[in-house]
Structure 1
Amino acid sequence: MPLLQHLCQLLYDSHIGTMIRESDYAFSVIESVHVLAVTLLVGTIAILDLRMLGLVLRSISITRIARSVFPLTWSGFVVMFLSGFLLFWAEAAKNYTNPAFRIKLILLALVGLNPLIFHTTVYRRVHEWEVLAISPWRARIAAIASLTLWSGVIIAGRAIAYF
């Protein structure tokens, strides 16, 4: 048995994994918290992405919006990560072979690379374009990639239950 599959089986068979999975309420409560955290995270990211596309809040600078939403974005991320890990823990052995889960992980890696690339390139010169109604093409590409990848993460996450 491959090491990763063995680790997934250990998580699945653990007391915590079994407790979450077999509880009348634990899994559904954790899943609800996860969905709300994803909503907070993606919602705040979408505000910034839609602003960079020039579709909303055109009169407000990019950096002002970013400063306003980033604390909420990070809060959503932390809760999403922790609740997602607990959901994975409860179903690790099943998720190991689930194609929707694997696609979600790939999309999460890509959605993590997108802001890393954006903030180390285009955003470094934000002071030059932050008040423009429509951002430069590279910022718009990053915004479109972000919205597309997050949509994919949500769709793949939802599909996990059906595979």
Structure 2
Amino acid sequence: MSIEDLADWLSETPLAYALTDSTWLFGTVEAVHVLALTLVFGSIALVDLRLVGIVEPSRDPRQLLRQWLPFTWAGFALAAATGTTMIFANPSGYFTNFFFQGKLVLLLLAGANMIAFHFIASPRLMTPGALAPRISGAVSLTLWTSIIVFGRWIGFTI
């Protein structure tokens, strides 16, 4: 099945019709997506800013992770669900959109950074002067900011 075939199939589903025929459904899904992404970015930013050394340098970053990671995952699950739902409204438009494609690549890179953080940087969190946590935090902030920027541009370019 090609991307075009998938887009055609998605655009003929009941969800696609509901999103395009309703005056309020797509906007509601989009609003929930933005709120979920705010939760993701906000919780990640709190930890990343600590890792970089900008805020609360005396606070144990492991405590911040334990405190905020459940919010990050909950927000991410909701953002993924609503983001996937929005695709149904115009699948061929999304699949061929540069900013949508870029956002997906950035999400993959953010996932790779998260894996690297847990295996490389996390064991060094309490090592004074460790560079790996700082780099991981800076990369994470950059990637998530870029994800938001690319996501915002999707709506202007579809």
Deviation per CA, 1:51-95, whole angstroms, max 9, x where unpaired? Answer: 011111222101111110011111101111111110112221211
The aligned length equals 157
Q: Where does structure 1 lack aligned partners over 5 or more consecutive residues?
A: none
| 4+ residue runs over 4 A deviation | none
Residue number in structure 2 paired with 1:47: 46
Residue number in structure 2 paired with 1:13: 12
| TM-score, scaled to structure 2 | 0.94
Equivalents in 1 of 2:95, 2:83: separation in Å? Answer: 14
Residue number in structure 2 paired with 1:101: 100
Worse overlay, 136-145 or 60-69: 136-145
Residue number in structure 1 paired with 2:143: 149
Question: Within 5 Å, which residues of 2 pair with 1:64-143?
Answer: 64-126=63-125, 128-129=126-127, 136-143=130-137
| TM-score, scaled to structure 1 | 0.91
Equivalents in 2 of 1:38, 1:150: separation in Å? Answer: 10
CA RMSD of aligned residues (A): 1.3
Shift of 1:12: 1.6
Deviation per CA, 1:17-66, whole angstroms, max 9, x where unpaired? Answer: 12112211100000000000000001100000000111112221011111
Residue number in structure 1 paired with 2:25: 26
The one-letter code of the counterpart of 1:56 is V
Q: Where does structure 2 lack aligned partners over 5 or more consecutive residues?
A: none
Residue number in structure 2 paired with 1:62: 61
